[in-house]
A and B are shown apart, each in its own frame.
Chain A
Amino acid sequence: MTTQKTHRRSTRLAALAVAAPLAVMAGAAPASAETEVDRPDTFTSAYTVMATPDTIINNDGEAVPGQDGATGTFTFMVNSDEEIICYDITLEGVTGEYESPAKTATHIHEATAGNPGPPRISFPNPTGEGDTRTSSGCLQGPFTTGLAPEGTDTGDGFTLAQIEADGGSGFSADTHTAEFAAGAVRGQLQEIPVGGVDTGAGGLATAAGESGSGTAVLPLAATSLGLLAAAGVMLRRRVGALR
């Protein structure tokens, strides 16, 4: 159903990780790492994150500054049945090289607001020219982070259902750089809706041609994929922005 490709890690990051303090604990990732996959047709939940530099907590639980003036927006679309998470990440004002003992420097951590916690998913680092860096795609678990402080990868045993269990509030997203090792920006996951918004009962469709833009699909045509597809062609969709 989906085309699976081997997840490519950044060789530059791998080199940086060697120099990182916890690098001795890296490299224990099992062979069954996540794979890049196509976007699924449906999702079971979604989350967004407003990441800022004033929410950074180091591994000792102390509040430390992130990169002043930087922000990050993360949107995650989850299909927990297929263990797929799609990510759409934009960083503004994050500068310098990424650095993390994990295999990438952009993560979902299992961490409530104000507390540290282990990374559970490691995402490709956003890239781009100038002040804006972006990263988007879909990953299918099981997930690994490449970080194994006690011999077990911190992604081992993690499932997306754990994010859904508490509406995302027990998880944060962040990105780490050489200058801001504890995080340049960070924010908590906030659940947002999936799918369309069911704001009509068909009253105007019944009276098609009157005020409003609703128009009826004739009963026999309601199941016509051809008609729905034709309607889709006419839509001014910005599909590219969604993927």
Chain B
Amino acid sequence: MAPADPTAVTIPAIGVDEQLIDLGIAASGELDVPADAARVGWFTGGGRPGGPGPTVLVGHLDSATGPAVFADLPDLVAGDEVTVTTEAGTTVTYAVTRTEDFLQADFPTAAVFGATAGDQLRLITCTGPYDRAAGRYTENRVVFAEPVA
């Protein structure tokens, strides 16, 4: 049976419990992001929980006025757990293995979005200096997680 689409994510360590919205690829080639800073999205061209490849979840660090849904994502550390629910009603719990910051201008596409034989999870938000001229942060925090055995 093919792995089902993810529908919700729970991250107890930072108080996140959210339904997911679909994200595709923008005309620019970049990943779409949620229009609503309070929502978490998943990349529909990636993997699914329980199947091969990375399931990629994305949320904003902040809105123009204050903290957004992934404001505390940078606080996650190795060992913290993340549970993803699928439309089939199944859940997969992942444990954070590492976190890394990357310049957006030198984003590690293969390491984050590249195919993997096993089930993987990535959580992405912004971090680092905010470039007012460009209107965006200059870095991304990427949280890498693997299923709990």
Known A196-B102, A199-B61, A211-B67; contact A190-B109, beta-carbon cutoff 8 A:
no
Contact B115 A190 (CB under 8 A): yes
Q: How many Å lie between the Cα of A118 and that of B137 in the bound state? A: 43
Interface membership of A236, Cβ < 8 A: yes
- Per-position contact with B for A69-84: 1 when CB-CB < 8 Å, else 0? 0010111010000000
Which of B58, B74, B110 is the one whose CB lies under 8 Å from A212?
A: B74
Interface membership of B126, Cβ < 8 A: yes
Stretch at the interface among A9-17, A100-108, A219-227: A219-227
Interface membership of A92, Cβ < 8 A: yes
Residues on the B chain within 8 Å of A215, using CB: 128-130
Q: How many Å lie between the Cα of A74 and that of B100 in the bound state? A: 22
Q: Give 10 CB contacts A-B under 8 Å.
A: A43-B109, A77-B109, A192-B46, A193-B43, A198-B136, A199-B124, A212-B71, A213-B127, A214-B127, A228-B129
Contact A212 B61 (CB under 8 A): yes
Contact B138 A202 (CB under 8 A): no
Residues on the B chain within 8 Å of A49, using CB: 115
Given A48-B110, A201-B62, A214-B126; 5 other pairs, CB 8 A cutoff: A75-B113, A88-B114, A196-B30, A241-B110, A242-B110
Contact B110 A203 (CB under 8 A): no
Give the shortest distance, in Å, between A95 (CB) and chain B (any CB). 17
Known A196-B105, A232-B103; contact A217-B138, beta-carbon cutoff 8 A:
yes
Residues on the A chain within 8 Å of B113, using CB: 46, 48, 75, 192-193
Contact B62 A190 (CB under 8 A): no
Q: How many Å lie between the Cα of A70 and that of B52 in the bound state? A: 14
Contact B30 A50 (CB under 8 A): no
Which of A73, A190, A231, A241 is the one whose CB lies under 8 Å from B108?
A: A241
In the complex, residue of chain B having the shortest beta-carbon distance to the beta carbon of A49: B115
Known A197-B31, A201-B37, A204-B66; contact A238-B60, beta-carbon cutoff 8 A:
no
Known A199-B70, A242-B110; contact A191-B45, beta-carbon cutoff 8 A:
yes
Q: How many Å lie between the Cα of A232 and that of B102 in the bound state? A: 8
Contact B129 A199 (CB under 8 A): no
Give the shortest distance, in Å, between A98 (CB) and chain B (any CB). 21
Which of A46, A197, A216, A241 is the one whose CB lies under 8 Å from B111?
A: A241
Which of A190, A203, A231 is the one whose CB lies under 8 Å from B138?
A: A231
Contact B132 A222 (CB under 8 A): yes
Residues on the B chain within 8 Å of A232, using CB: 103, 106
Give the shortest distance, in Å, between B73 (CB) and chain A (any CB). 9
Interface membership of A162, Cβ < 8 A: no
Contact B124 A197 (CB under 8 A): yes
Residues on the A chain within 8 Å of B62, using CB: 200-205, 212, 214
Residues on the B chain within 8 Å of A73, using CB: 114-117
Contact B130 A238 (CB under 8 A): no
Q: How many Å lie between the Cα of A222 and that of B63 in the bound state? A: 19
Interface membership of A165, Cβ < 8 A: no
Interface membership of B101, Cβ < 8 A: yes
- Per-position contact with A for B103-147: 1 when CB-CB < 8 Å, else 0? 111111111011111000000111111111111111111000000
Interface membership of A155, Cβ < 8 A: no
Residues on the A chain within 8 Å of B110, using CB: 48, 75, 77, 88, 241-242
Contact A196 B114 (CB under 8 A): no
Q: How many Å lie between the Cα of A128 and that of B9 in the bound state? A: 39
Of B72, B130, B135, most buried by chain A (CB within 10 Å of CB) is B130
Interface membership of B49, Cβ < 8 A: no
Interface membership of A239, Cβ < 8 A: yes
Closest 9 CB pairs of A and B: A196-B104, A205-B130, A200-B126, A193-B31, A203-B62, A50-B115, A192-B113, A75-B110, A204-B62
